[in-house]
Amino acid sequence: MEITLKNLTKIFQEKDKGEITAVNNLNITIPSGKLVGLLGPSGCGKSTTLYLIAGLLNPNKGRIFFGDEDVTDMPPEERGIGLVFQNYALYPHMTVRQNIMFPLENIKVEKQEALKRSQEMADLVGIGELMDRKPKQLSGGQQQRVAIARALVKKPRVLLLDEPLSNLDARLRLATREEIKRIQRETGITTLFVTHDQEEAMSISDQIVLLNFGIKQQEGEPQDVYDQPDNLFSAKFLGTPPINIFEGEIKNKKLIFNDMELTTKDSPDKNVLIGIRPEGFIIDKKSAFSLSVYMVETIGRDTTLIIKNPLDEEETFRAIVDASHRIKPGDTIKFKIKPEKLFVFDPETGELL
């Protein structure tokens, strides 16, 4: 079931703060059968978007389509939505089985059929053996699987997950996100996965949509957005360690940092922001671009060089190089920059130049 948001806008009125445009003229397509990650910092409008799709909130402007059907004015219970929240929201006094069956009782599915479907869903999410337990007898990861089984048992048209892994510890978070990906593939259900964690979104999503201040910043396959950021926000939001950003200028078709030429750039003279991904630094004795290494961290294959920005000692750069180089703090290293890892931004608009 393809989902389309057209010019969707949600404005909240707050007593003292006035109007907050939580979702601002949003256009998104979630292709049928795909998992789309909606990604952005806290407060950027992710949950509001999800609630609008679910019908728990009504938009001020814009339309929502499931396939060709306009569902904007349809009540939530008719939309065919499965919802999963960060805090599981299981009924504590009910067993796992009763929790999963609950949505079916509401729509008066016959008991035997409800039991059968609940067991199928429990098996699908890998908790088929735990049906007689109460939620508090389960780990966080198991509880979240119960919540997913409960969301799927009505065979919804769309699965909406709002930060479903945020309450889990790091190890469970990894395991559960792989489970969600597997369940989504096996069921082929169109899924919107909301998270503020870029690594989580990158790893799980067929496509990501990046949001800031309720405005879509960029969308595409995760690796494409990483490789070709449209603006400073996208460049900074994706990647660990994050992209290095520093002030430079374009002068006579050359990109200059601290009087050193990084590369040529066919643009008019102006001050710019330069972004270089940590993996974009290549050690090259012939280069004119040199930096002094402040600290060295070697973990396995990679060495991370921590370099103080010569223009601002408060700022550091991170360069990831091959561990075989054996670099010591205090060494001055000459670098060539991989052109595909270097981005130049307009300092006023943040747009890629």
Contacts with Mg ion by CB under 5 A lie at 47
251: nearest Cα among 259, 241, 243: 259
Task: Report in angstroms how near the CB of residue 11 gets to ligand ADP at its nearest.
Answer: 9
Task: Report in angstroms how near the CB of residue 56 gets to Mg ion at its nearest.
Answer: 13
The residue among 138 and 161 lying less far from Mg ion, judged by its C-beta, is 161
Among 3, 8, 22, 153, binds ligand ADP (CB under 6 A): 22
Taking CB under 6 A as the criterion, which residues in 27-46 touch ligand ADP? 40, 42-46
Asked if 3 contacts 152 with a C-beta cutoff of 8 angstroms, the reply is no
Alpha-carbon span 349 to 346, nearest angstrom: 6
Task: Report in angstroms how near the CB of residue 61 gets to ligand ADP at its nearest.
Answer: 16
Name which of Mg ion, ligand ADP, none residue 324 binds, using a CB cut-off of 5 to 8 Å depending on partner kind.
none
Task: Report in angstroms how near the CB of residue 48 gets to ligand ADP at its nearest.
Answer: 3
Among 34, 37, 48, 207, binds ligand ADP (CB under 6 A): 48
Amino acid letter, residue 241: P
Alpha-carbon span 252 to 99, nearest angstrom: 68
Among 2, 6, 11, 20, binds ligand ADP (CB under 6 A): 20
Asked if 273 contacts 312 with a C-beta cutoff of 8 angstroms, the reply is no
Examine residue 47 and tell whether it contacts ligand ADP (CB under 6 A).
yes
Eight-state DSSP code of residue 221: -
Eight-state DSSP code of residue 108: T
Query: Of all helices (H) and strands (E), which one includes residue 190?
Result: strand 190-195
- Report the chain's C-alpha Rg in angstroms: 24
300: nearest Cα among 283, 282, 322, 332: 322
Task: Report in angstroms how near the CB of residue 69 gets to ligand ADP at its nearest.
Answer: 25
Name which of ligand ADP, Mg ion, none residue 43 binds, using a CB cut-off of 5 to 8 Å depending on partner kind.
ligand ADP
Computed from CA positions of residues 346, 278, 44, 192, in that sequence, does the dihedral angle turn out positive or negative? positive
Examine residue 164 and tell whether it contacts ligand ADP (CB under 6 A).
no
Taking CB under 6 A as the criterion, which residues in 259-278 touch ligand ADP? none
Asked if 318 contacts 244 with a C-beta cutoff of 8 angstroms, the reply is yes
Examine residue 14 and tell whether it contacts ligand ADP (CB under 6 A).
yes
Task: Report in angstroms how near the CB of residue 162 gets to Mg ion at its nearest.
Answer: 6
| End-to-end CA separation in angstroms for the chain | 37
Examine residue 12 and tell whether it contacts ligand ADP (CB under 6 A).
yes
Task: Report in angstroms how near the CB of residue 246 gets to ligand ADP at its nearest.
Answer: 29
The residue among 20 and 320 lying less far from ligand ADP, judged by its C-beta, is 20
Asked if 225 contacts 38 with a C-beta cutoff of 8 angstroms, the reply is no
The residue among 14 and 348 lying less far from ligand ADP, judged by its C-beta, is 14
Alpha-carbon span 53 to 112, nearest angstrom: 32
Alpha-carbon span 188 to 74, nearest angstrom: 24
The residue among 47 and 244 lying less far from Mg ion, judged by its C-beta, is 47
The residues binding ligand ADP (CB under 6 A) are 12, 14, 20, 22, 40, 42-48
